[in-house]
Amino acid sequence: MKILLGVTGGIASYKAIDLTSKLVQKGHEVKVIMTKSAEKFVTTLPFQALSRNEVHTDIFDETDPSVIKHIDLADWADLILVAPITANTVAKMTYGIADNMLSATLLASTKPIFIAPAMNSNMLANPAVENNINILRNRGIHIIEPGAGFLACGYIAKGRMSEPLEIIEYIEAYKKGEQIQSHQQKQDLKGKKVMITAGPTIENIDPVRYLTNRSSGKMGYALANAAASRGADVTLISNPLPLERHPAINWVSIESAQDMFEAVQSHMNDMDIIIKAAAVADYTPETVYDQKLKKKEGDLTITFKRTVDILSYIGTHKTNQYVIGFAAETENVEENAIGKLKRKNADVIVSNNVGDTSIGFKSNENAVTMHFKDGDKIEIKKQPKEAIANQILSNVNKKGFK
Ligand code: PMT
């Protein structure tokens, strides 16, 4: 692929040198644009040496009269990757500012654009930056999420640029994923009604305390967004979560397992596909106190009662719905998943090993195995939850969901 790599002024720009080297080693042709701020961190020379191409830094440096450089570069590339991208360049992209070689090229491009943000965690969480990233995501810019870890500012938090190999894996998955794109273009779930439950439930103890779990909702929201992009009429049932929702999604806000059960009951008859990605509490306090429980001498005992197993309820009462459950396991993953498939009368169980902290709960990536009722098994290797979601939907379609 012809990759135009944009490098902006962050400490992670040193990683862009390694990224250039690895891209070239994988057979990609790379041209580099650096901002003036990037040049404060690293020089053009390693990029030129590794890419074997001139590095562009100045929009007015027009040495070849036969072309206009930023237009020519935008046209040349199969895709543009900006890694690292600062909050400043994110804002420029959002508002269409073209005041340097990179921002002008981005504005002139009609090609897929990937950005790998890297910044201090407070900057990343600032509503202005979050909002800008969401606007870009909604415009179809591919966001390669930063990871958590040691930041140059001394924080240990989210904001580190993804590692070069992860970035390359992401781009190459996209290249292979032309299938995913064409699904979106073909709108292969158009006319289908899909219900998805996502995230944790909240079981109140008193007005102050509650019982919940580690689910962030990312897996379920990725499924809901992917299904909506593929044309489905999506009903998403979840707690309010700080995650982006496709604008066409019909969101039903719930809190407890009982709320989720009632919402599922009232919507399930209309559905073609039901996906239960939520981490539902198996137990809820027998008594919910109206007033805050006061601290007393000695221990406190709270009795919990069982919640309804919503997936089993769906399995028992379904008519034509295709039912996909999840299994969050820490041991005997396959055996337990197949047990749930049978006991809960699902059509598919998607198992994930939540004992591995790099996947499963809260992380941006997952690795799953789909166990089908007919005994088939499909493994989906570790990748961003958005890609996993699309593959789950594609496999369900492929397996002849009617
Ligand atoms: O939300 P993330 O941070 O992105 O993490 C994703 C995830 C790990 C939560 C997700 O991939 C996942 O595995 N979801 C299912 C979690 C779970 O509760 O698994 P389980 O093995 O305990 O339950 C099996 C199935 O029964 C699930 O489909 C669950 O939704 C359903 N269930 C469980 C209990 C209950 N009372 N009612 C149910 O419907």
- Check if 277 has its Cβ closer than 6 Å to any atom of ligand 1: yes
SS3 label, residue 179:
helix
Task: Find the helix packing angle between 164-176 and 178-186, rounded to 10°.
Answer: 50
CA 245/CA 266 separation, integer angstroms:
22
For atom 18 of ligand 1, which residue has the closest CA? 279
CA 48/CA 54 separation, integer angstroms:
6
Q: Is the dihedral of CA 47, 53, 54, 56 positive or negative?
A: negative
Low pLDDT (below 70) residues in the chain: 148-149, 156-157, 178-186, 402
Residue 188, pLDDT score:
87
- Check if 89 has its Cβ closer than 6 Å to any atom of ligand 1: no
The architecture CATH gives domain 2-184: 3-Layer(aba) Sandwich (3.40)
Which residue is listed with tokens 């005994």? 375
The alpha-helical segments, DSSP class H, found in 157-289 are 164-176, 178-186, 218-229, 257-267
- Reported residue count of the chain is 402
SS3 label, residue 126:
coil
- Check if 346 has its Cβ closer than 6 Å to any atom of ligand 1: no
55, two tokens: 């590095």
- Check if 311 has its Cβ closer than 6 Å to any atom of ligand 1: yes
Task: Sketch the domain layout of the chain as residue ranges.
Answer: 2-184, 193-399
DSSP string, 341-359: HHHTT-SEEEEEETTSTTS
Q: How far is the CA of 375 from the centre of ligand 1 (A)?
A: 21
Q: How far is the CA of 237 from the centre of ligand 1 (A)?
A: 13
Burial of residue 287 (number of CB atoms within 10 Å: 0-12, 13-18, 19+): exposed
For atom 24 of ligand 1, which residue has the closest CA? 327
Q: How far is the CA of 230 from the centre of ligand 1 (A)?
A: 24
CB 275 within 8 A of CB 223: yes
Question: Taking the C-alpha atoms of 249, 250, 256 and 259 in order, what is their torsion angle to the nearest 10 degrees?
Answer: -150
What's the half-sphere exposure (Cβ side, CA atoms, 13 Å) at 147?
A: 13
Residue 244, pLDDT score:
77
- Check if 3 has its Cβ closer than 6 Å to any atom of ligand 1: no
What's the half-sphere exposure (Cβ side, CA atoms, 13 Å) at 351?
A: 21
CB 6 within 8 A of CB 81: yes
Are 2-184 and 193-399 the same fold in CATH? yes
Q: Which atom of ligand 1 is nearest to the CA of 349?
A: 28
Q: Which atom of ligand 1 is nearest to the CA of 279?
A: 18
Q: Which residues are catalytic?
A: 153
Angle, alpha carbons 327-332-338 (nearest 5°): 50
Residue 184, pLDDT score:
47
CA 393/CA 135 separation, integer angstroms:
25
* Short-list 174, 148, 185, 178, CA closest to 163: 148
The one-letter code for the residue type at 27 is G
CA 58/CA 54 separation, integer angstroms:
12
Q: Which atom of ligand 1 is nearest to the CA of 366?
A: 11
Angle, alpha carbons 50-54-55 (nearest 5°): 85
- Check if 160 has its Cβ closer than 6 Å to any atom of ligand 1: no
CB 155 within 8 A of CB 181: no
CATH superfamily, with its number, for domain 193-399: CoaB-like (3.40.50.10300)
CA 349/CA 340 separation, integer angstroms:
7
- Check if 362 has its Cβ closer than 6 Å to any atom of ligand 1: yes
In the β-sheet with 233-238, what is the strand arrangement from edge to edge?
250-253, 233-238, 193-198, 273-276, 322-329, 348-353, 365-372, 377-384
Q: Is the dihedral of CA 82, 131, 250, 354 positive or negative?
A: positive
Q: How far is the CA of 173 from the centre of ligand 1 (A)?
A: 27
User: What is the H or E stretch that residue 286 is in?
Assistant: none
Q: How far is the CA of 290 from the centre of ligand 1 (A)?
A: 29
Q: What is the pLDDT of residues 169-224, one digit of tens each?
A: 889 888 877 443 444 445 789 999 999 999 999 999 999 999 999 999 999 999 99
Residue 170, pLDDT score:
85
